[in-house]
Amino acid sequence: MDIESFVLDVVGVVEETADAKSISFAVPEGQAEKFDYKPGQFLTVAVPSDQTGIAARCYSLSSSPHDGGPLTVTVKRTADGYASNWICDNLEVGDTLRVLPPSGIFTPASIDADLLLFAGGSGVTPIMSITRTALAHGKGQIVVFYANRDEKSVIFADELTRLAAENPDRLQVIHWLESVQGLPTEAQMKAFASQYGGFDSFVCGPAPFMKMVTTVLKDLEVPRSLRHQEKFVSLGGNPFGDLEELQAVEAEIALAESDDDGPATEVFADAPAGPVKLEVELDGEEYTFDDWDPRTKMLDFLESKGVKAPYSCREGECSACAIRLVEGDVKMIYNDVLDNDDLEDGIRLGCQSVPLTDTVKVSYS
């Protein structure tokens, strides 16, 4: 089975700031269902590279899935970011870019909920998607706390001003500029966030910003179910390669390691002796299989059964394949994105999970 990717036409390029651009794409005819996304999700794009052939990167969607507008990601340059600089320097209307369908779990369970949205720098991208969608189709209150270096760094400044003016009873936007106020402290953030108990909280931005906000929310005893954190990653592998080739290489490595009594042997040391029963809920459908080989990753097994489970990097470096354990247990071979809170909440990565119990039940919702 080949990895399902799509070549999209670039239909719009907007300069948001000196360092950030929004890139809009046309969805191919007949593929609208594949690109039906939730606010806060991301696209995985293939950026041409002379060194590696492809540099795969995940960029959050800033558009709303419900306003009829084009599929849009917003990309901010980083000092040493090859992909972000290539996109900002090269992409023009009429060009094409290869992408994987939208994925990710940084999205509200209900757009009717009261939302407390924290954004730092380019972390406003998924926050913008959530805000646009909740204003247009939700009913709750929305508070956006947006931190930047200075006024020139504020992405979507005009639109946020317009949306707040048009929705004074529902949307409040608080801008925090380091050039004016300095970096926000935990005490300041706690005083601010304490006003919004019961709000569903989302945070996206630089790692120190996200860590500080998350710490504040924990100190305020905000339940885990109301705390959501996005993570930006640079994928180490190429999710656009041929799946059968990737699986063959993985199998060879696993076999070599097991022959040497290396890491692969340790990974499967606690595996059930025989085939495992796997129950999966995905997009409203339920699947049940009784022959999951304990030495096969969940994603690989589901694909072998024809189930189109979501994924992006296949290396445990993003959250596109995230599942929630309902029954039983699994072990992840590698994980570079889920934190302890995620694990305690039963979230696992399907691309890296192998079974620990005779029965495993999971949900992709």
Does residue 258 register a pLDDT over 70?
no
- Position of tokens 């409040």? 172
Please indicate whether residue 270 or residue 21 has the higher confidence score (pLDDT): 21
Lowest-confidence pick of 37-51, 183-197, 261-275, 297-311: 261-275
Residues of the chain with CATH 3.10.20.30: 243-363
3-class DSSP state for residue 44? strand
First to last CA, the chain: 24
Residues of the chain with CATH 2.40.30.10: 6-103
Confidence grade of residue 68 (pLDDT, cut at 50, 70, 90): confident
pTM of the model: 0.77
Q: Are 182 and 208 in contact (CB under 8 A)?
A: no
Q: Homologous superfamily of 6-103 in CATH?
A: Translation factors (2.40.30.10)
Confidence grade of residue 260 (pLDDT, cut at 50, 70, 90): very low
Q: How does pLDDT run across 2-59, given as a tens digit for each residue?
A: 457 899 999 999 999 999 999 999 999 999 988 999 999 999 899 887 766 788 888 9
Q: How does pLDDT run across 121-132, given as a tens digit for each residue?
A: 999 999 999 999
Does residue 329 register a pLDDT over 80?
yes
CATH number of 243-363: 3.10.20.30
Q: Is the Cα torsion angle 362, 280, 297, 109 positive or negative in sign?
A: negative
Q: How does pLDDT run across 126-157, given as a tens digit for each residue?
A: 999 999 999 999 999 999 999 999 999 999 99
Looking at the structure, give the CATH architecture of the domain made up of residues 115-229: 3-Layer(aba) Sandwich (3.40)
